[in-house]
């Protein structure tokens, strides 16, 4: 029931781009993305709903392919502040509780 995230870790230089993927074995109602910095609580980034859509703010965006039960998070022109662990959370159709992927550790270096 837990979604699968890839890659497990990625290291970037400032200004480079990254893609983080999340896939589920179940039909999904929604996909959430969160970022957690070391020693802090996860912070909500965005939610994508059934119906297939793409959302974004600033240089972080995401897509949701409903048919493939997959979502991707796109980080463009990365900044040092983007460093942290990114989690996708999925809510299957008919469920109310969210299960999280194992996380992707993103490190942005100067």
Does 98 help bind another protein (rule: CB under 8 A)? yes
| Token digits of residue 54 | 């793409």
109: enclosing H helix or E strand:
strand 104-109
In angstroms, give the least distance from the CB of 15 to another protein.
28
56 DSSP assignment: E
103 binds another protein (CB under 8 A): yes
| Contact indicator for 3, 98 with CB cutoff of 8 Å | no
Which span (20-28, 62-70, 74-82, 101-109) binds another protein, by CB under 8 A? 101-109
- Parallel, antiparallel or unpaired: strands 104-109 and 9-13: parallel
Q: Is 87 in the site for another protein (CB under 8 A)?
A: yes
Two tokens at 68?
A: 């493939």
| Residue 19 found at the interface with another protein (CB under 8 A) | no
Residues 26-65 that bind another protein (CB under 8 A): 30, 32, 34, 40-47, 49
């Amino acid at each position: 029931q837990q979604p699968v995230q890839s890659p497990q870790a990625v290291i970037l230089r400032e200004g480079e781009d990254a893609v983080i993927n999340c896939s589920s074995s179940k039909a999904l109602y929604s996909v959430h993305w969160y970022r957690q910095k070391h020693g802090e609580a996860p912070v909500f980034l965005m939610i994508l709903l059934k119906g297939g859509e793409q959302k974004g703010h600033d240089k972080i965006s995401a897509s949701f392919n409903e048919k493939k039960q997959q979502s991707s998070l796109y980080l463009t022109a990365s900044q040092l502040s983007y460093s942290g662990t990114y989690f996708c959370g999925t809510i299957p159709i008919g469920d109310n509780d969210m299960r999280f992927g194992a996380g992707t550790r993103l490190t942005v270096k100067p």
